[in-house]
Amino acid sequence: MADITAAAVKDLRERSGAGMMDCKKALTENGGDMEAAVDWLRAKGLATAAKKSGRVAAEGLVGVAVEGKTGAAVEVNSETDFVAKNDQFQDFVRTVSQLALKTGGDVAALAAAAYPGGGTVQEKLTANVATIGENQQLRRTRVVSVNEGAVVPYVHNAAGAGIGKIGVLVALEGSAPVDKITALGKQLAMHIAAASPLALNEEGLDEALIDRERAIAMEKAATSGKPQNIIEKMVEGAIAKFRKENALHSQIFVMDNKTKIADVIAAEAKAAGGSIALVDYVRFQLGEGIEKQTSDFAAEVAAAAGTAKPAA
């Protein structure tokens, strides 16, 4: 039997919203596997759908930059939020965001790119680690572009120009006036920051994720006591709802809470007297998908002082 720690129970409780004893039971039933425990709780109706953003824990900054009809986003991680407030670190993220415009969304190419003043991006990052005194990592980057239209940037929880906790790029292709496209892009970017879509359209959703949702829905429906044909309809209904709620084009616009994003774009294109198509987007939220170790500060101090109590 896996050793279920209090820290693991606390983590699961924060991620799922379920009660402490339910979280402990979920971990016990699943051998301490956190993801399996989340699914177990959801299948039992004891937790709400967990998004990747529920695992956000790493510190640092996300940066976005746009030049012409191309936009780039980067994420640079640090150990603490104190570094994210450091001018040297912030300047590095802004500079790297600009450099990322030329490296095609490849982290290795970005790390090897020449950094202003000499050396490469990776060498500058290594130097920053030495001078700031904390580990830092160039985690990811992505680039989007259009032939006609605009790429619109947006930063939520901004720490400064072009840097913050959530960075969004919206790629809108079309013949409508650029000012109209840009205004729409800003609204869509704010929607994306808030609604956290998982794909541009339903066809783009990860099938492995759909399979996972189907398994959860099936287990939930199985407890209803209804005939198999009804259960199958319930499951497919749940999957259809999941697809609509997580694909950007079919999401409901957060600005009015009633119109599909696809319809918002169509209406704006008609009003602008030209074409507008949402062809791509980027949403980077700081630390999403990274598990951060938690520690008991008092215990660490006690251990350092040699006064820690022996384990029972």
**For 93-107, how does the pLDDT look when each residue is reduced to its tens digit (9 = 90+)?**
999 999 999 999 999
Q: How large is the average pLDDT for residues 205-215?
A: 88
β-pair partners for 172: 150, 278
- For residue 261, what pLDDT is reported? 97
Residues 14, 123 within the same domain:
no
User: pTM of the entire structure?
Assistant: 0.74
CATH of the domain at 73: 3.30.479.20
Taking residues 74-81, report their average pLDDT.
91
Residues 156 and 85 in one domain: yes
Quickly state the pLDDT bin for 15 (edges 50, 70, 90): confident
User: Do 189 and 276 belong together in one domain?
Assistant: yes
State the Cα–Cα distance between residues 120 and 138, nearest whole angstrom.
13
In a domain, 227, yes or no: no
Does 88 share its domain with 185? yes
Does residue 215 sit within a domain?
Answer: no
In a domain, 309, yes or no: no
CATH number, residue 21: 1.10.8.10
pLDDT (0 to 100) of residue 28? 92
User: Looking at the structure, do residues 141 and 278 belong to the same domain, yes or no?
Assistant: yes
Give the contacts of 14 (CB within 8 A, at least 6 positions apart). Answer: none
- Same domain for 108 and 94, yes or no, is yes
Query: Are residue 45 and residue 76 in the same domain, yes or no?
Result: no
- Asked if residues 4 and 28 have their Cβ atoms less than 8 Å apart, the reply is yes
Q: What is the pLDDT of residue 52?
A: 34
Instruction: Give the total number of structural domains in the chain.
Output: 2
Q: Is the pLDDT of residue 38 over 80?
A: yes
Q: Give the max Cα distance, the chain.
A: 74
Residue 67, domain extent: 55-199+263-285
3-state SS, one letter per residue, for the chain? CCCCCHHHHHHHHHHHCCCHHHHHHHHHHCCCCHHHHHHHHHHCCCCCCCCHHHHCCCEEEEEEEEECCEEEEEEEEECCHHHHCCHHHHHHHHHHHHHHHHCCCCHHHHHHCECCCCCEHHHHHHHHHHHHCCCEEEEEEEEEECCCEEEEEEEEEEEECCEEEEEEEEEEECCCCHHHHHHHHHHHHHHHHHHCCCECCHHHCCHHHHHHHHHHHHHHHHCCCCCHHHHHHHHHHHHHHHHHHHEHHHCECCCCCCCEHHHHHHHHHHHHCCCCEEEEEEEEECCCCCCCCCCCHHHHHHHHHCCCCCCC
Does residue 93 sit within a domain? yes
Give the per-residue pLDDT at 293.
Answer: 53
What count of residues does the chain have? 312
Statement to judge: residues 41 and 94 lie in one domain: no
pLDDT at residue 80 in the model: 84
Give the pLDDT of residue 90: 96
Residues 182 and 140 in one domain: yes
**Average pLDDT across the chain, whole number:** 87
- How confident is the model over 75-87, as a mean pLDDT? 90
Q: Tell me, yes or no, whether 84 and 34 share the same domain.
A: no
